[in-house]
Structure formats: structure tokens, C-alpha cells
Amino acid sequence: MKSGWRIASAVVAVIVSTAAFAASKGEFATADEAQAMVKKGVAFIKANGKDKGYAEITNKQGRFTDRDLYLVVYGLDGVVHAHGANEKMVGKNLIDLKDVDGKEFVRERVELGKSKPNFWQEYKFTDPVTKKVAPKSMYCERLDDTVVCGGIYKR
């Protein structure tokens, strides 16, 4: 009988800890989660090479997509090397892309990437969860001749 109580206690402990983890992870990503994911993406590319790294970042079911958070990798020339939300963007030069307010956010991103090792950038973009244009904060880190970025939507 004691082993039955131990098993029941263990099951309850697992359920409680799983619920606590789920509750601690909100519906939308945070700035800290974006920074952590970018750092993991940079480390993954360094450890596994660009081909494998970019493929994993572009994989929507991969380790670099979480709720509304995904990574993108831009060359300092504006060419997309990896895109966690839209694989059709890979290989395209988006240097002239503008947000709804006319801000050339890709041009700004690559210019910031040329002058800073890491930075936050503000612009507007379509939220993959709500499908609505929303203010976005993008955290980026330079890696060689690219910037690896992940962002959060402001609600």
C-alpha cells in the first residue's frame, strides 16, 4: 500500500510542476526569452556551422520557434539567410523593406549590425499569433557578416 501512495505522490508532484512551468511561460514571449533565444541561436550556428544552423532556424517546428518568438538571420547586405516564420524569405534581399509607417527596418537593422555587437530595434510587423500588425522590439547580435535576431510584440 505504501508504494501506491508513493506513486500517487509522484504523479501529483509531476502534475503540479508541469502546471507551474506552463503557468510561468506566458502566452507571448518576453524580452528576456528573446535575448536568450538569440544567444542560443548564435551558439548553435557557431557549433554546427551556417548550413545546419540556418536550416534549424528556418524550421518552424525546430528549437528556434516558440509561440510568437522566432529567429531570423540577415546578412549585412540585407539578404535573408534564415527565417523562422517564413521560409520563402530565405535568399531574398529585403534591404528596402518598410514597415507600415515607412520605416526601412531591414536597412536600419543591418546598419546597426555593422556598428554594434548587439542592439534592440523598434518597428512594426505582423504578429504570427494574432495576424495583426503590432509594434515589435527585435534583439539582434552580430555574428561575422550577419545579424541573428529574435523579437517580441508589444501588446
pLDDT of residue 129: 79
**Closest to 109 (Cα-Cα) out of 87, 85, 142:** 142
pTM for this prediction: 0.81
pLDDT of residue 2: 54
pLDDT at 13 over 70: no
**Closest to 77 (Cα-Cα) out of 96, 58, 99:** 96
How many residues are listed for the chain in this entry? 155
Dump pLDDT digits (tens) for 50-102. 999 999 999 999 999 999 899 999 999 999 999 999 999 999 999 999 999 99
20-29: long-range pairs with CB below 8 Å, 24+: 27/67, 27/129, 28/67, 28/68, 28/129, 28/152, 28/153, 28/155, 29/66, 29/67, 29/68, 29/69, 29/152
pLDDT at 23 over 50: no
Q: Domains of the chain by range and CATH?
A: 28-153 (3.30.450.20)
Dump pLDDT digits (tens) for 112-140. 999 999 999 999 988 877 889 999 999 99
